[in-house]
Structure 1
Amino acid sequence: MTDLLTSIQAALGLSRTPVAFNGPGALPSAFAVTDLACASMAAAGQAVSELIHAQTGDLPSVEVDRRLASFWFSTSLRPVGWQVPPLWDPVAGDYATQDGWIRLHTNAPHHRAAAERVLGACADRAAMAAKVAQWISADLEHAVVEAKGCAAEMRSWTQWQNHPQGLAVNAEPLVLFIDSPDAMQQPWRGSAAQPLAGIKVLDLTRVLAGPTASRFLAGLGADVLRIDPPTWNEPGVVPEMTLGKRCARLDLHDPADRAVFESLLKEADILLHGYRADALEHLGFGSERRRQLAPGLIDVCLNAYGWSGPWQNRRGFDSLVQMSSGIAEAGMHWQQAEKPTPLPVQALDHATGYLMAASALKLLTEGLRSGRGGSARLSLARTARLLIEHGPGTSEALRAEDGHDQDSRVEQTPWGPAHRLQVPVKISGTPIQWALPATELGTHNPQWL
């Protein structure tokens, strides 16, 4: 735990102020998943503490509950009388090939369509398995990716270390900070109780990693506006991840919507985006254009496979990176299983999300001091290296959740009432709490409060 946190603190430029970790137990895994959960949350909490210290002179203490951190890396929501839709498309998952294993990610309709363009229409997993079994793993991965789909062959850590993309991303820093020459005019309007009051966060992220970051920032008082394309939906994660946010839709291919987006960006203090490395460039909103529109912007970027190498523009998700980087293969040997064994939670997503939040907070702290903005780049694959290199996990069982773990307050969502688990991170004098319940995508108008 100490080594993990020290590595993260060094990457973020945080001080090595002690953090209290409470509660026994860990998620059973080949890797130290609970340690990663706690260390990434601790770093985000410490970044809050250092922001408050820079503005007030007081340095709040930070505590992290290990059990609650483990639970939040799965889901924090406990519906009352209703159920969250399934996380996975019926044919998404791992399949045996002629020479190994491959994972197909088909949650988005266009990603499933891409896989079916290569394999043919598949009504169920059995039909998909029969077709995948005829392929060599590397050939199928290449074919699905070329069809603009999402797939990952199972590789070992050794294979990944020798792969051109593994070599590239493993040479990158955990967080790449880039200074901006542009002035940031925003004064601090927060307080110890709400350190991000008055901060506008424009959220272009989806699924888990980026939304984890913006959810954390919303819990500190930020005005978070999430923007999605007109037809995008992710029903299995929306109730979990839209907590504290307003959610609108814009079509960035439409001139009128582009104008609205530009006006939003001009007023934003922080931009979070998880598009592929070249996606915003193709939309005409590359880094230079963003700087022109919003000088002094804090620009925090995420992608799956890193910012250099042949796969820097490849579509990817946590489960695919686990297959590519050796995590699922190591889990298979650890559990003595006959199929890929991923982490018990999508820890790369969640951990990278808290590192994104910490990066935004660090840039804000520095910007308030220097008067300049800046950007940060992170990737799921680089977070995978952090986890893999910090040693094995444990087979011990985490004590089961009980009623005391839940917040007594009721969250009135569009789907029905729910409770949240208590927040794992405690920052003295700074309660992490959300003014808005989770909501459907596209509920709000694309405008700042």
Structure 2
Amino acid sequence: MVRTAGADALRGLLQVAGLPGALLGQARLEGEDPVQPSSFHVGAAAQASIAAAALAAAEIHRQRGGPAQAVRVSMRHAAAEFRSERHLRLDGALPPDPWDAIAGLYRCGDGGAVRLHTNFPHHRAGMLRLLGEPPATREGVAAALRGWRALELEEAAAAAGLCAAALRGTVEWAAHPQAAALAGQPPLLLERIGAAPPTKLPPLATRPLTGLRVVEMTRIIAGPVAGRCLAAHGAEVLHIGAAHLPTIPALDMDTGRGKRRLLLDLRQPAEKAALEEHVRGADVFLQSYRPGALAARGVSPEALAALRPGLVCASLSAYGHLGPWAGRRGFDSLVQTATGFNQDEAEAAGTPDSPRPLPCQALDHASGYLLALGIQAALLRRAEEGGSWHVRVSLAATGQWLRGLGRVEGGLAAQDPGQEDIADLLEERDSPLGRVSAIRHAAEMERTPAGWG
């Protein structure tokens, strides 16, 4: 294989997951950065993470008795899939914009800046209370924030259970205790958390993950992308939500492809018992709630592994499971701001006073495919060694991995692809909500085509 940033990134991911290095020879990687306007290797990250998850599926299929197969991933297609929520159309129209009007970046009175995430109604209401109930407009919020220092607002928001991040540069983030907690950590952690005899993979089927059952409790992008990826390779995925918790319908449409859905309220004993019954029949439990939130209701990885020995649990966090920010709420946009990406992109553009985000929710999407990769690696380990397993991924560690891929000189001059530029990558299908047009999966499997029913 020709050495490219995508190939090097893929090699590293296979090593981290403990998968055979020979799988690299089955990958057919096409394209090079930049494929979106960024000074970071967003395209290589998309290509490598999607290819790694697909190669893990191919290896599961081979170990079930199927032949080895090539996996082709175009960087252009992979990068488009990293923006799948932007390309979704319902009956030919864009779904409602999920971004709240007051979400975004603001300057504070000390000259620093903060990014607010207010897309959930309770986060929006809480932020307005914290700021002294200013008018619920960008102008009103901006005026209120001029009375704050950026770092003080960040801490006050965290203490109130709200979502905000102060803008930092790379050097400033590197000096932060949370960065120290992440230093040297791989983008994917795989830990044995319980004893269980080996669990054979199901008999050979037409798709790699047919016969494997996933219980998913996730929201927004990263966790749901992981479940969508597993469903694309044939897993039976049951997404469990709750009627009393807010969600974003446009994201649910995009990431819910191939899944069944069930609403449960874990505050009700009978409904928690229903969840436990589903877990008893599952191979995988995938969750992306704030660290400790489900454990407080008795739904920790250890408790579930005791309930169902041999279970593979997968957990997503914003900033990792160690360090002073281990329990902090966060989203892709906030982690980008806190860890230096917004400032780095601005400086690469020659506009250091105008922070700019990555061209996609790269930390979210990459983390989703890393979760799917880790889950499949754990299923292979379970078949060989036995045990219950815990897969951990965090947005911040994913960002650290992306940063480690290096920079793209002149990358910000790349074209920003629009809907017409990716039209050949779309698929259409009928749904209960109408005719959905969406990005098809970027991993092209030689013998077991990926896709959603």
TM-score of the pair, normalised by structure 1: 0.92
Aligned residue number for residue 106 of structure 1: 118
5+ unaligned residues in a row in structure 2: which ranges?
none
Q: Indicate the larger mover: 394-403 or 361-370.
A: 394-403
Matched, 1:96 2:92: no
Matched, 1:396 2:385: no
Matched, 1:12 2:17: yes
Query: Structure 1 85/185 Cα, relative in aligned 2: closer, same or farther at 3 Å?
Result: farther
Q: How far 1:70 moved relative to its partner?
A: 1.1
**Alignment equivalent of 2:306, drawn from 276, 292, 301:** 292
Q: How far 1:139 moved relative to its partner?
A: 0.5
Task: Tell me the distance in 2 between the aligned counterparts of 1:133 and 1:243.
Answer: 43
Contact kept in structure 2, 1:160 and 1:167, CA below 8 Å: no
> Which amino acid in the other structure matches residue 57 of structure 2?
V
Contact kept in structure 2, 1:411 and 1:418, CA below 8 Å: yes
Aligned residue number for residue 48 of structure 2: 39
Q: How far 1:402 moved relative to its partner?
A: 4.7
TM-score of the pair, normalised by structure 2: 0.91
Q: How does 1:297-312 map to 2 (within 5 A)?
A: 297-312=311-326
Query: Structure 1 184/105 Cα, relative in aligned 2: closer, same or farther at 3 Å?
Result: farther
Query: Structure 1 125/354 Cα, relative in aligned 2: closer, same or farther at 3 Å?
Result: same
SS of the equivalent of 2:141 reads helix
Q: How does 1:364-375 map to 2 (within 5 A)?
A: 364-375=379-390
Query: Structure 1 190/71 Cα, relative in aligned 2: closer, same or farther at 3 Å?
Result: farther
Identity %: 36
Runs of 4+ in 1 over 6 A off after TM superposition: none
Q: How far 1:103 moved relative to its partner?
A: 0.4
Task: Tell me the distance in 2 between the aligned counterparts of 1:430 and 1:57.
Answer: 10
Aligned length: 433
SS of the equivalent of 1:288 reads helix
Task: Tell me the distance in 2 between the aligned counterparts of 1:81 and 1:342.
Answer: 28
**Alignment equivalent of 1:340, drawn from 339, 355, 362:** 355
Task: Tell me the distance in 2 between the aligned counterparts of 1:406 and 1:420.
Answer: 5
Query: Structure 1 397/359 Cα, relative in aligned 2: closer, same or farther at 3 Å?
Result: same
Q: How does 1:254-273 map to 2 (within 5 A)?
A: 254-273=268-287
SS of the equivalent of 1:56 reads coil
Task: Tell me the distance in 1 between the aligned counterparts of 2:405 and 2:425.
Answer: 29
> Which amino acid in the other structure matches residue 287 of structure 2?
H
Aligned residue number for residue 90 of structure 2: 79
Contact kept in structure 1, 2:193 and 2:302, CA below 8 Å: no
Contact kept in structure 1, 2:64 and 2:202, CA below 8 Å: no
Aligned residue number for residue 69 of structure 1: 78
Q: How far 1:184 moved relative to its partner?
A: 5.4
Matched, 1:242 2:253: no
Listed one character per residue, the Cα deviations across residues 186-239 of structure 1 (whole Å, up to 9, x for unaligned) are 543353531211211000111000100100111112111111122222123111
Contact kept in structure 1, 2:198 and 2:384, CA below 8 Å: no
Aligned residue number for residue 447 of structure 1: none
Aligned residue number for residue 137 of structure 1: 150
Q: How does 1:127-206 map to 2 (within 5 A)?
A: 127-183=140-196, 186-189=199-202, 191=204, 193-206=206-219
> Which amino acid in the other structure matches residue 203 of structure 1?
E
Task: Tell me the distance in 1 between the aligned counterparts of 2:431 and 2:170.
Answer: 42
Listed one character per residue, the Cα deviations across residues 241-290 of structure 1 (whole Å, up to 9, x for unaligned) are 11111111111111121111111111111010112222122112223311
Task: Tell me the distance in 2 between the aligned counterparts of 1:283 and 1:64.
Answer: 40
**Alignment equivalent of 2:425, drawn from 405, 424, 427:** 405
Matched, 1:60 2:75: no
Task: Tell me the distance in 2 between the aligned counterparts of 1:399 and 1:277.
Answer: 35
SS of the equivalent of 1:302 reads strand
Task: Tell me the distance in 2 between the aligned counterparts of 1:377 and 1:282.
Answer: 18
Task: Tell me the distance in 1 between the aligned counterparts of 2:190 and 2:156.
Answer: 35
> Which amino acid in the other structure matches residue 256 of structure 1?
A
Matched, 1:228 2:241: yes
SS of the equivalent of 1:305 reads coil
Aligned residue number for residue 417 of structure 1: 435
SS of the equivalent of 2:224 reads helix
Aligned residue number for residue 444 of structure 2: 426
Task: Tell me the distance in 2 between the aligned counterparts of 1:424 and 1:130.
Answer: 44
Q: How far 1:23 moved relative to its partner?
A: 4.1
Listed one character per residue, the Cα deviations across residues 40-92 of structure 1 (whole Å, up to 9, x for unaligned) are 01111111122122222622111101111111111153333332111211111
**Alignment equivalent of 1:351, drawn from 351, 366, 377:** 366
**Alignment equivalent of 2:29, drawn from 17, 21, 27:** 21
Query: Structure 1 145/223 Cα, relative in aligned 2: closer, same or farther at 3 Å?
Result: same
Contact kept in structure 2, 1:304 and 1:380, CA below 8 Å: yes
SS of the equivalent of 2:294 reads helix
Task: Tell me the distance in 2 between the aligned counterparts of 1:161 and 1:295.
Answer: 40
5+ unaligned residues in a row in structure 1: which ranges?
436-449
Listed one character per residue, the Cα deviations across residues 279-305 of structure 1 (whole Å, up to 9, x for unaligned) are 122112223311221111011111000
Q: Indicate the larger mover: 16-25 or 68-77.
A: 16-25
Q: How far 1:403 moved relative to its partner?
A: 3.6
